Structures are given as C-alpha cells and as structure tokens.
A = this chain, B = another copy of it.
Amino acid sequence: MRRLGRYLPILDWARSYDRQTLESDLLAAVIVTIMLIPQSLAYAMLAGLPPEVGLYASILPLVAYAVFGTSRALAVGPVAVVSLMTASAIGQMAQQGTADYIAATVVLALMSGLMLVAMGLFRLGFLANFLSHPVISGFITASGLLIAAGQLRHLLGISGGGQTLPQILRGLVEHGAGTNGITLMIGVGVLGFLVFARTRLKGVLTRAGLPSRPAGMLTKAAPILAVAATVALSAGLQLATRGVPVVGAIPQGLPVPGLPRIDMQMVRALALPAFLISIVGFVESVSVAQTLASRRRQRIDPNQELLGLGAANIASGLTSGYPVTGGFARSVVNFDAGAQTPAAGVFTAIGIALAALLLTPLLADLPQATLAATIIVAVLSLVDVGAMRRVWAYSRSDFAAMAATVLATLLAGVELGIVAGVVLSLVLHLYRSSKPHMAVVGQVPGTEHYRNIRRHEVRTCPEVLSLRVDESLYFANSRYLEDRVSALVAERTELRHLVLMCSAINAIDASALESLTEINRRLTEAGIGFHLSEVKGPVMDRLRGTELLHALNGRVFLSQHEAACVLEGRC
C-alpha cells in the first residue's frame, strides 16, 4: 500500500477530502474552465489542428494528472510553446488539415507520454537540468516571438505559414495584398480589448466599486467574453460569407478513446521532437508546480511529476488529443481561485467535456482572428527582454548560450534552437570549468592566512611554491592543471617544493587522480617535492589506497600553515 501510494499520490489527498475542500475546488474549476475554453481552441489552431482537438486535450489528460501528479494546483492542458513545437514537428511530415497530420499529433502525444513515464520510472528527471535557465528563457522568448509572428496572418485574414521567422515574414509579404479588412478590424479590436483587460480592466472594476477578488476573476473571463462577442457579431452579420475566416463546423460530442495507427517510420521521425517536447514541457510544468507548492509549504516530487505528465499525455494520445503540459497562467489562476487538491482538475475536465458536448455548435461562426488575438496576447507575456539584459550584465558566456538559442530558434526553428542552446551551454560550461581559477598564495604576515600573491601583500619563499585551485578537479580541467604546474615549475629554477592547497577542491575524479599522479612523477624526476594541504575529508577518504598517496614524494599537510612552517624552514 505504501509502495502503491508512492506512485498514486491521489491516495494521499482523497482520504481526507471534505465539503469545504470540495467547494474551493469547484469554484477554482469553474474559473479555470472559462479561461481554458478559448485557450484550448486557440492553441489547437496554433498547433495546426482543428479546434476541437484542443478541447479533447483538456479532458482526460486533466483526470490522469489528478491521479498521478503531485502538485495540488498545477493545471494541465495545451500550452503555447508545446503547441508550437507540435506544429514544427508534424509540419515536417504532413500537411496541416489532413487526416495524416492529426494522426501524427496523436502518435506524438502518446510517444511523449511514454517517454515521460519511462523517465519517471528510471528517475531520469535530472535530464531536464541540461536545459540551463538562460537557454529556457531564450527559447521561450524566441518561441513567443515566433508564435506571435505566425498569428499575424490570421489577424490579416490571409494564408501563409512557416516554421521560422524568415519563412513567416516571406509569407506575410507574399500574401499581404489579400488582407481582409473586416478580419483585420475584428482582430485588432479583440487585441485591443484583451490588452486593455490585461492591463487596466481590474483597476477600472475596482474603482467602480467591485471587490478586488471578483474583479480579478472577471478579468480572466475577458477572452471568453471576446469569443462570445465575436461569435455573435460574426453570426449576426454572416461574416463568413464576406471572406472572414471562421472556425467552421466542429463535431459535437466527446472523443472516442482508441489507439492510433502506429507506423514505425513515423515513430523514428518523431523520436527527437517527442523527447524535446517532453523535456521542455516537464521543465515548464515543474517550475510552475514548485513555485506554487512552496507558497503553501507543500512539495512536489519531480520524478513523480514525470509520471503525472506522462499519464496526462498518454491519456491525450488515447482520446484524439495532442501533447499537453502544465501551463503557467492557468495554474496561477487555479491556485489563486483556491484550488486545494487535484480534484479541481477533474472538475475542470467535466466543465470542458460539457463545453465539448454543448457549446461546439456555437463556435462555428467564431472568427479565427479572435483566437489569433488571444494567442498573441498570451504569448507576448512570454517574451522576457529583461531576462536577456540581466543575463548579459551577469555573465557573458551565459548570454552567449541564450543569444544562440534565440537566434537559432527564430532562424532555424524550435528543435534546432533548443539543441543549439543545450550544446553551447554544455561546451561553455566545460570550457569555463576547464580553466579554473588558480592562485599562487603566500602568507599574510603575522597571521596563519594564505592569500593570492597578486591581491595581497604576502610573504613567499623562492624554494616553495603554494598553489590554490578554486575548483573541483575532473577530466575537463586536470590537464590544464598539469600545464600550469609545468609552466610554474619551468620558470622557477630555485624551486624545491610545490604545495597544492586543496581547500576548494570538492571532488577529484579518476582523470584528475591520474594527472596528480603524473604531476608527482614529473616533479619527482625534476627533484621537486610535491605536497598537498587542506584536503577535505571526503576527498581524502577516496584518495586513501590510491597510487597517488602511495607514490607521493612529499606529505599531506592538514593546514597550509603547517606546510609552510615545515617546508619554508630556511626562508
């Protein structure tokens, strides 16, 4: 039972579920449902899918996450970045609007779900650590720009497309002449209203006497208001007959569960995109979940989150959906509205299911421009120029990884973008740690402190050289240490002892051990004593019994001061 509980967090909270929790969860579910309906439709369009697929992806996946997830407030469903990645992955193998395209997204959701579950079972959540903050931030900013640019054509009512900024811009230029004036007016109108709702509406409502909380909730309903208003307008004026692209007939009802056709060639082609979608979705989801959990001093388990998100994606794949993950905005709304347990997600799923059953006939007249405006307003909040400025000020090499991610994403698409960012940040990290800070140290007169001879007035002895390395020693920097020691020794003909001060060395791997042994061998041949000082306990534990300590021609001193006292006797 305990073992089962580990994989089924629902057993934890379902036992103590009471009426008060139910009321909180129900209220949160109503608000999230209202927010999620237009978002689901819009993100499905962004992914190149019919709008009902967005609704399908917001039903069973929420239930699956409620059973397997650990976050009490995370709201799962279609999100912007993953939708873009889906469009990019499937766009390479099928034409939007075809049955093949829809079939491939279902397979993608299923594969992503299986990969997440596998990562959870093998506790591979650490793989997400390969994505550094600057890379993720750059990737999300660039994705936001790419998505916004890609939606412009829907605001203009023209055709076009493309996975990269140059392709999208070329499409806009080529088809721009066909702009539909009514569509543009609707699009710009909705855009203006949503921006107003986001920035000013709450202030206006509270000044009008409404309490802050309902004012905030009402603000979140702005997108569905925009949907309702433009559907009414479009239906009333028969705009579809005037060239305004509308959503069109949507099949009414719930998805029929079933396995998609699976074709091995497709599976191979989708393996990398599915992996990248899994990792990006996981990172986005976990950081939201962690932020919310810590506000109530709860915690989430990242490896169990993998299972939760994996189950959600498998559920999505089995019910004609597409890849889903935890969304930032909707999770915050869920949390603020008072969701106490994942049951809120189940109630949201029921709300969306009702929408799929009852509301879909109303959506046929919905102008696509309304959805495009919804997407643009949502994704522009992802663009974080401030983060780029902060990273630039803090670290040029982190900025380089970020800039590479942004440029590669915009110019070469999402997959190459994220891969370029990861590879560059790994290479830069290894480069940095391959040239660690080292300081020749000397005694601060009258004390037992030993400091960098370049920064402090210190006493040194020409026969003894003390070198402090400010980094753990491992394969990427062990040869650099060999080089530096060779150089330092070559330029000091009087040298008789070298002391390696290990106070900042947290670990020594087998390569570094080899290098230290080699340094000892070389120094021995040159008639120079090799000593260690201030070796940390765990490091010393591992060194015991190695050839290095056996062959060391000098001593291991507990403190640098002791080493200096013994070796500098004649200075």
Contact = CB atoms under 8 A, between A and B. Distances in A.
A434 B135 CA distance: 17
A434 B286 CA distance: 17
A504 interface: yes
B437 A506 contact: yes
Interface in A467-482: 470-472, 474-480, 482
B475 A129 contact: yes
14 contacts: A130-B475, A130-B476, A132-B474, A133-B510, A290-B482, A294-B489, A298-B490, A302-B483, A391-B510, A436-B506, A437-B538, A471-B472, A471-B507, A472-B472
B430 A486 contact: no
A475 B526 contact: no
A398 B133 contact: no
Contact of A129 (B480, B489, B514, B522): B480
A436 B480 CA distance: 23
B522 A475 contact: no
Given A126-B434, A486-B299, A518-B291, A474 B525 contact: no
A200 interface: no
Assembly of this chain: how many copies?
2
Interface string A287-329: 1001101110111101000000000000000000000000000
A129 B395 CA distance: 23
A254 to B, nearest CB: 38
A219 interface: no
Contacts of A489: 294, 297
B129 A510 contact: no
Contact of A295 (B134, B513, B514, B522): B522
**Best-buried of A395, A479, A486 by chain B (most CB within 10 Å):** A479
B471 A525 contact: no
Q: Which among A286, A426, A514 has the greatest number of chain B C-beta atoms within 10 A?
A: A514
- The 4 residue pairs across chains A and B that have the minimum distance between CB atoms: A132-B475, A398-B510, A133-B511, A294-B522
A441 to B, nearest CB: 13
A495 B132 CA distance: 30
Contact of A546 (B133, B394, B399, B434): B394
A395 B295 CA distance: 40
A430 B302 contact: no
B431 A126 contact: yes
A471 B506 contact: yes
A329 to B, nearest CB: 18
Interface in A432-477: 432-437, 470-472, 474-477
Nearest to A402: B510
B509 A132 contact: yes
A261 interface: no
B474 A547 contact: no
Given A395-B509, A425-B475, A509-B132, A126 B480 contact: yes
Contacts of A394: 510, 513, 542, 546
Interface string A3-45: 0000000000000000000000000000000000000000000
Given A129-B475, A130-B430, A297-B526, 7 more contacts: A134-B511, A294-B490, A394-B542, A395-B509, A399-B510, A429-B476, A471-B507
Interface string A521-551: 1110110000000001010001001110000
A515 interface: yes
Interface core residue of A132, A433, A434 (most chain B CB under 10 Å) = A132
A480 B489 CA distance: 40
A486 to B, nearest CB: 5
Contact of A506 (B132, B470, B487, B507): B470
- Most B CB contacts (10 A, CB to CB) among A297, A432, A483, A504 go to A297
A130, A472, A511, A545 interface centre (most CB from chain B within 10 Å): A511
